[in-house]
Amino acid sequence: MLDLLQSHTARTMLSNSEFIVMLNQAATNRIELARLLNISDLQLSYITNVDAGHGLIKVGSSIVPFENKSPKNTKLYKLMTTKPGERLEELRKPASAKPPEALTDEFDMLSNQELRILEMIREVGKIRYAVSQAQDSVTASSVRIQNFVRFRKRQLAEKS
């Protein structure tokens, strides 16, 4: 995140974004985000050393804290978790150790089609992240090329 906050283009994009979700942030990132988005100290407390599922949502000029805890024993949680270790643990459990399928709440009542849609949404998120990383790499390469071109022009100007 710090690299992102040091990029003028990225800072401009963030400051012009109408919708941002912020989760737990490192101290240096919090300071930069607070300056960039006019986040108060009280609001910063919602992204400082907080548990998963807590954070801030910026919508337009409003910043709203949220707490979104999902029960871990639901199909939806298992489908949407971003913690790879939890998915591996589930896969490693022998079939006999897995609890019987019980309808513990409304999330377990999702149809197979709804579950497929949620899985596709998750995959789209992964793709968007990969594209974002590629764009960052292209931007960094472009900056390096521009700097090199300027350097070579200066070198050639000094020789003439």
Quickly list DSSP for 67-100: E----TTSHHHHHH---HHHHHHHHHS-GGGSPP
Q: 150 vs 135, which has greater pLDDT? A: 150
Which residue type sits at 15?
A: S
- Domain-wise residue ranges, the chain: 2-67, 75-159
Instruction: Note the pLDDT tens digit of each residue in 91-134.
Output: 566 655 555 554 444 455 666 777 777 777 777 777 877 777 77
For residue 140, pLDDT over 70 is answered with: yes
